[in-house]
Amino acid sequence: MPPQITKHPESVTVFSAEDFVMKCEASGIPPPSFSWTKDGKPFDPSDDSELNVTAESGSYVFFPLSNKMDILKPYQGKYVCYATNELGTAVSTEAILKTDVPPTQQKEKKVTVKSDEGSSIVLKCNPPQSSMEPTIHWMDPNMHHMELSKRVVIGKDGNLYFAHLILDDSRDDYTCNVQYIETRTIFAKEPITLKVNPSNSVLRNRRPHMMRPAERESTYNALRGQTVELECIVQGLPTPEITWLKKEGELDESRTFKKMFDRRLHINNVSESDSGEYQCIAKNTQGNAKHTYHLNVEAAPYWTEIPQSLIYAPGDSVRLDCAAEGTPSPTISWTKNGDEISGNDSGHAVIAENASMILNHVNFGDTAVYQCRASNKHGTILTNTYVYVLELPPQIITEDRKVYTVTEGQSASLECETFGSPKPEVTWESGTSYLLADPRVNSLNNGGLQIFKVSHDDAGFYTCSVQNANLSITAKLEVFNRTVILTPPKDLKVQPGTTAIFTCVGLSDTSLRTPQIQWRMNNQKLMESSSDEKYTFDGADFIITNVGPADEGIYTCEIISSLDQAEASATLTLCDRPDPPGLLQISDPKHREVSLSWTPGDDHKSAVQEYVIEFEDQGSEERGWEELKRVGGNQERAVLSLWPYMSYRFRVIAINEVGKSDPSKPSEIHSQPAEAPDNNPGDVRSESVEPDTLLITWEKMDKRNFNGPDFKYKVQWRRVVGSGPKWHESETTQPPIIVTDVGNFSAYEFKVQAINANGEGPEPDPVIGYSGEDVPLEAPMDVGLEILNSTTIKVRWAAIDRETVRGHLLGYKIHLTRKGSRGHHRGRRSREAESTVVEETGPNEEMKVISNLRPYSHYLLSVAVYNKKGEGPLSEPLPFDTMEGVPSPPTSLILDSPSETEMTLHWTPPAHPNGILTGYLLEYHRITESDDSPLQKIEIDDPKVTHFTLKGLDRHSQYRFYLKGLTKAGKGAPSIVTGATTLDGAPPSDISLSAGENLLNVSWEIHKRRRNVGFYIQYRRENDGSNWKKSEKVNSSQSFYQLRGLTPGSDYSLNFIYGNASFWETRIKTEGTEMAVVQASIATQGWFIGVVTALVLLLLILLILCFIRRSKGGKYSVKDKEDCPMDSEARPMKEETFGEYSDLEEKQTASQPSLCEENKMCSEDTLNFNGSSALTTELNLDESLASQISRPSEGPEVFHGLPDTSPLNPTTIPPTTNGMPNSITNLN
The CA–CA distances, whole Å, from 703 to 171, 679, 754, 863 equal 56, 12, 12, 51
The CA–CA distances, whole Å, from 1207 to 1202, 1213, 1221 equal 9, 9, 10
Q: Which of 652, 658, 867 is nearest to 778 (CA)?
A: 867
The sign of the dihedral angle between the CA atoms of 1006, 1007, 1013, 1015 is: negative
Q: Looking at residue 8, what is its pLDDT? A: 93
Confidence of residue 692 (pLDDT cuts 50, 70, 90): confident
Q: Looking at residue 724, what is its pLDDT? A: 66
The CA–CA distances, whole Å, from 1217 to 108, 339, 984, 1140 equal 110, 115, 18, 18
Q: Looking at residue 20, what is its pLDDT? A: 87
What's this model's pTM, rounded to 2 decimal places? 0.40
Task: Report which DSSP code applies to 864.
Answer: E
pLDDT (tens digit per residue) in 982-1018: 877 888 888 999 999 899 999 998 877 788 889 999 9
pLDDT (tens digit per residue) in 76-112: 999 999 999 988 999 999 999 988 888 888 888 889 9
Confidence of residue 339 (pLDDT cuts 50, 70, 90): confident
Q: Are 58 and 4 in contact (CB under 8 A)?
A: no
- Residue 803 has φ and ψ, to the nearest 5°, of -65, -30
Backbone region of residue 1040 per phi and psi (left: phi > 0; alpha: psi in -120 to 50; beta: other values): beta
pLDDT (tens digit per residue) in 126-175: 898 888 889 999 998 888 899 999 999 999 999 999 999 999 999 999 99
Q: Which of 173, 244, 172, 232 is nearest to 208 (CA)?
A: 232
Q: Looking at residue 1207, what is its pLDDT? A: 32
Question: Residues 723-751: what's their mean pLDDT?
Answer: 87
Q: Which of 959, 960, 953, 943 is nearest to 890 (CA)?
A: 943
Q: How far apart are the C-alpha atoms of 783 and 254, rounded to whole Å?
A: 99
pLDDT (tens digit per residue) in 764-807: 999 998 888 889 999 999 999 999 999 999 999 999 988 888 88
DSSP annotation string for 139-178? E-TTSPBPPP-SSEEE-TTS-EEESS--GGG-EEEEEEEE
Lowest mean pLDDT among 379-388, 501-510, 920-929, 1135-1144: 1135-1144
Q: Is the pLDDT of residue 1181 over 60?
A: no
Average pLDDT along the chain? 84
Q: Looking at residue 1186, what is its pLDDT? A: 30
Lowest mean pLDDT among 574-583, 699-708, 912-921, 1108-1117: 1108-1117
Q: Looking at residue 831, what is its pLDDT? A: 60
The CA–CA distances, whole Å, from 1096 to 1091, 1104, 1109 equal 9, 13, 20
The sign of the dihedral angle between the CA atoms of 882, 884, 889, 895 is: positive
- The distance in angstroms from the start CA to the end CA of the chain is 106
The CA–CA distances, whole Å, from 773 to 684, 685, 687 equal 19, 15, 10
Q: How far apart are the C-alpha atoms of 1204 and 1209, rounded to whole Å?
A: 7
pLDDT (tens digit per residue) in 595-637: 999 999 999 888 999 999 999 998 887 889 999 999 999 999 9
